[in-house]
Chain A
Amino acid sequence: MAEVEARIPNRRDEMRTIAALVEQFGLTHLVPSRIVNELNVALDEILNNIISYGFEPGEQSEILVRLSLQQGERVAEIEDAGRPFAPLGAPPPDLAGGLRERRVGGLGIHFVRNLMDAVEYARVGECNRLRLSKTLAPDEREKPGGERHGNS
């Protein structure tokens, strides 16, 4: 199992650290670029949500992001100590409307739900824990001895 984690302050200008972490993890572990990009979209949505709505203005906190490759899955876990945040309970976005009427509210969670294979949320004590995962394709599963074959 391969794992890496980083903590960032709850500020938008720190989000780039996580995008770089995902890219590097992807390169190191030969994750197809499509998966890396999907993870980065999902993480951009989640982190932006946490930073925007999870804390009082000016409240300083940290967000933990852990990336791992587990049996058959690529996983991103996000932990924060902000307000309870239940992405799965959010209303679906309004995707109708021409240029003038379109709003992007709810689009982020819509992306997360559709790009990830599984999204799990738990409130543990004072923390939100979100687990995003992408299942590896059958030909990408880890073989005995750690050898992995895959294609993009």
Chain B
Amino acid sequence: MFSNSWNNILDWFRDRSERSKLVRSFNESARNSYINGIAPTLLKCKISKGERSYKHQFSNWLNTGFRIQAFTGRTLTKEEIIHIGEVILNDDFLTRKLVVLGWDTLEIHGDKGTYGCRWQLKDYIPLPNYKLE
């Protein structure tokens, strides 16, 4: 019982650190791409509340949303927002990493906040039915 609780505490801290690292890496790459002219819009990601109904077995207790927002540069069209979502969801490594680190919702928003898209991550990665130990 003690070892399980101790491992859970360690996992919680490690997951928090990995989540922050992922967000930082994404934002750094997005910034560099915008500065170098590869991306016409500056994207920024952050952890959001998420959608409770999208929960899966790896989901965090709170804040399960991975939100990407366009900040500056030209406005993104709806098709572009959907395309960004497709690019992320087609990358198996990234989607798997998002799922195991506790995220269950992918959200992409334009800079004006008028519209955005949301995806349920577990639809894109098959999750086996693990018994909770």
Same complex origin of A and B: no
